[in-house]
Chain A
Amino acid sequence: MHLLIEAIGFGVASGAVLALGAVGFTLQFGISNVLNLTYGSLMSLAAFLALFMINLGWNVWLTMAIGGLLIGIASVALNRGLLAPLIGRGMQRTSLIIVTASAGIVLQYVIVAVAGPSTQSYGNLQGATLHFLGWTLTTGQVVIILLTVALMACLHLILTRTQLGRAMRATSANRTLARSCGIPTSRVSDIAWFLSGVLCGLAGIALAITIESFDFTIGPIFLVPMIAAAVLGGVGQPYGAMVGGLVVGVVSQVSAAYWDPAYENVVALAILIIMLLVRPRGLFGANWSSRKLLA
């Protein structure tokens, strides 16, 4: 029983990072309907930008905030500079996926060209080990969990309590109708890409802190469980992605504790497949934009 409780704690810690990334990924997908596979490479870019700033002697949490903002801007630039023009020319969604995957690979090799292929590290930023309720977590992990909770709460407030949230939901539900109602869908889309990019950047840096050591593949490797978390929750649903991240994280750690750790990701993905067979639209069913989010 102790092992189970402990494994759940480990799962929550890794699930928090997954949730950060998965929410950003699914938020952008919900608005733009583009499966953005560059997302993983943008996470890598965030990790390396933070490394650059940490090597300058900057505080890690400050670099995390700046890194998130920079990736937010990069994310908007990716959409405005590459994807939106292609969509404007009528490119099919499947072709766009190839474009995002290609852009991601190019970005990875740009990182390698600049920073080299070697493994990098911010050093040990985990802090003291804390024991509570049968869980064993580091200070760094606790901070990341709290940060994730706070960001998810902020996102919830934006989506449910603000004009912007309404506009995002309307744009997601029907872009043409939203535009004819006077919603500046282009600006809403930019904001969604920006928020998604910020979460992507934060996830990339949080991941680099958590695993202590990383190279240019850090984001793309993480992309698979992150997409699994997003799909498990229901593609395009931020709340689903939050829960999906936690489920994938916890299932991976519990299966590693009780079964062969080599298959921890396999177990999580198998559960995803079974879940989708039972509930094809994911845990949260209908699209978030059409859910009654306002009180």
Chain B
Amino acid sequence: MRRNLAFPAIGVATALALGGASTALASSGSSAPINVGVIAPFSGPAAEFGTLLSAPCQAATWLINRDGGVLGHKLQCTPVDDTGDPADAVPNVTRAISTISNFDMAIGLESNTAATTGPIVNQARIPYVTTNGLVSYNRTHEKYFWRLTPADNANGVAFAVWAIEKHYKRVAVVFENNIGSQGNLPGILAAMPKLHGTITNNLTIPADATSYSSVVSTIISKHPQALIFSGDPQTTATFMANYSQLNNGHLPPMITATDSLTPDFFNAVSKAVGKSYIFNDVYLVGSYFSNNTPAFKAYKGAMVANPLTRKIADVITTVGPPASAYDGMTIMALAMLMAKSIKGSVYNSYIPKVVSKKSGAVVVNTFAEGKKALSEGKKIQFVGVVGPVAFNQYHNFSGQFAASRFTAANNAHQLSVISGAEVSRLLG
């Protein structure tokens, strides 16, 4: 997860953060609930991340608890506020681990804080499915780390592939100077020459500056056909407004990450340069998942059925990271059933077995199906919203990519699938 994402109602955020968290310090008795740590910012400028990751937690919890929970335990989502700042994240996560009973699984740990919070959670033997895109985790040896989203450099390659597919051979690369945005850069730099493309400008810009006119002027002088851009909504709006002013109202198409699929980005940029540009010339590239699978229908259904997530179900279910968090929770819950234990140190090794393809295995798409099959003594292969998963030796999985566009309803309309194998080849 790379940047700030905003949601329509702050009330929804509060409800999601608090929903199910009221008994986080409950007893650790035999039927005490399993606390799922949603480690994310719940305060500060990036507080919407907490909402973004609480929603899939609520959806997965709702489905799992509806089916009787795990080994007699209900699940509950417990927000752990990392504030988006490592200085606060370390004490907050440490305190949460030492005070919350049955803290047996975690999701979240986004890019700004994962490098400091990941080792703490790993040390506590709590399996976690992260949504961070840090390249440093491509070859991690943290045993309890699992990732179902592509690393940022792979995302960068997907940007380049899409640019070339659209016949944009000359692109300007403009990224904000934050860890998430910059992570995409190596992939673009590696892929563009291999795809016979040219990078006219490779610029890093500060966030929230009063003017980007000088930068824009240098870009315009090189005549790029498209921009590969990553910035927060405010930065993007200011930058594009400056571009429009200096280029007689003409704007090149923009390729950016699916993280930008937020009301905040949509509102900021459309007010600055118009809705027509947003609908027709902004391409969102990120991890792919189909919305026609049984797993997706269950995921969306849980979002809509749960009063806490109903209002934001349409937006959340078009974004990759929440889907991977939802799948991650289901995978961990099924691993607990397989291992017959809720202890991370025991069930962690069963996580790859839940998703691996094996002869005689029944393909299951929901927790209920998996629980039923396991109770009947069958082998299972869980195929969730992100599709079939095969973790590599470093507990990473990066599937296909997709390019999408904004729709009038502020959702994404998928344009094309970008091959994960092609991305891996270009990255290699």
Determine the chain B residues whose CB is within 8 A of the CB of A222 once the complex forms: 210
Q: How many A-B residue pairs have CB under 8 A?
A: 128
Chain B interface: which of A69-77, A114-122, A151-159, A271-279?
A: A114-122
Q: Is A211 an interface residue (CB 8 A)?
A: yes
Does B238 contact A211, Cβ atoms closer than 8 Å? yes
Does B267 contact A264, Cβ atoms closer than 8 Å? no
Does B245 contact A126, Cβ atoms closer than 8 Å? yes
Residues facing B in A213-236 (CB within 8 A) are 213-215, 217-218, 221-222, 225
Residues facing B in A166-217 (CB within 8 A) are 207, 210-215, 217
CB proximity of A99 to chain B, nearest CB, Å: 22
- Write the B175-207 contact mask toward A (1 if CB under 8 angstroms, else 0): 001000000000000000000000000011110
What CA separation (Å) do A119 and B274 show in the bound complex? 16
Does B214 contact A253, Cβ atoms closer than 8 Å? yes
How many of A's residues come within 8 Å of B, CB to CB? Answer: 43
CB proximity of A244 to chain B, nearest CB, Å: 15
Does B213 contact A124, Cβ atoms closer than 8 Å? no
Does A217 contact B208, Cβ atoms closer than 8 Å? yes
Q: Is B417 an interface residue (CB 8 A)?
A: no
Q: Is B69 an interface residue (CB 8 A)?
A: no
CB proximity of B15 to chain A, nearest CB, Å: 15
What CA separation (Å) do A13 and B208 show in the bound complex? 16
Q: Is A254 an interface residue (CB 8 A)?
A: yes
Does B6 contact A10, Cβ atoms closer than 8 Å? no
Determine the chain B residues whose CB is within 8 A of the CB of A123 once the complex forms: 271
Residues facing B in A4-48 (CB within 8 A) are 6-7, 10, 13-14, 17-18
Does B206 contact A262, Cβ atoms closer than 8 Å? yes
Does A136 contact B272, Cβ atoms closer than 8 Å? no
Does B48 contact A121, Cβ atoms closer than 8 Å? no
Determine the chain A residues whose CB is within 8 A of the CB of B210 once the complex forms: 14, 17-18, 207, 210-211, 222, 225, 249
Contacts A116-B10, A213-B234, A264-B209 given; indicate if A124 touches B272 (C-beta within 8 A). yes
Selected from B211, B237, B273, the residue in CB contact (under 8 A) with A119 is B237
What CA separation (Å) do A116 and B8 show in the bound complex? 9
Does B246 contact A136, Cβ atoms closer than 8 Å? yes
Q: Is B263 an interface residue (CB 8 A)?
A: yes
How many of B's residues come within 8 Å of A, CB to CB? Answer: 40
CB proximity of B3 to chain A, nearest CB, Å: 12
Q: Is B241 an interface residue (CB 8 A)?
A: yes
Determine the chain B residues whose CB is within 8 A of the CB of A264 once the complex forms: 206, 209, 214
What CA separation (Å) do A121 and B248 show in the bound complex? 21
Does A121 contact B272, Cβ atoms closer than 8 Å? yes
Selected from B45, B215, B265, the residue in CB contact (under 8 A) with A117 is B45
Determine the chain A residues whose CB is within 8 A of the CB of B345 once the complex forms: none
Does B217 contact A3, Cβ atoms closer than 8 Å? yes
Selected from B45, B48, B213, B233, the residue in CB contact (under 8 A) with A213 is B233
Determine the chain A residues whose CB is within 8 A of the CB of B204 once the complex forms: 260-262
What CA separation (Å) do A264 and B233 show in the bound complex? 20
Does A121 contact B267, Cβ atoms closer than 8 Å? yes
Closest 3 CB pairs of A and B: A213-B237, A121-B271, A257-B214
Binding site for A on B (CB under 8 A): 6, 10, 45, 47-48, 177, 203-206, 208-215, 217-218, 221, 232-234, 237-238, 241, 245-246, 248, 263-265, 267-269, 271-274
With A3-B217, A119-B265, A257-B214 already in contact, 6 other A-B pairs whose C-beta atoms are closer than 8 Å: A18-B210, A119-B234, A211-B208, A213-B269, A215-B45, A261-B206
Q: List 16 A-B contacts (CB under 8 A).
A: A7-B213, A117-B10, A119-B233, A119-B237, A121-B237, A124-B241, A124-B272, A129-B245, A136-B217, A211-B211, A213-B269, A217-B208, A256-B215, A257-B218, A262-B177, A265-B209
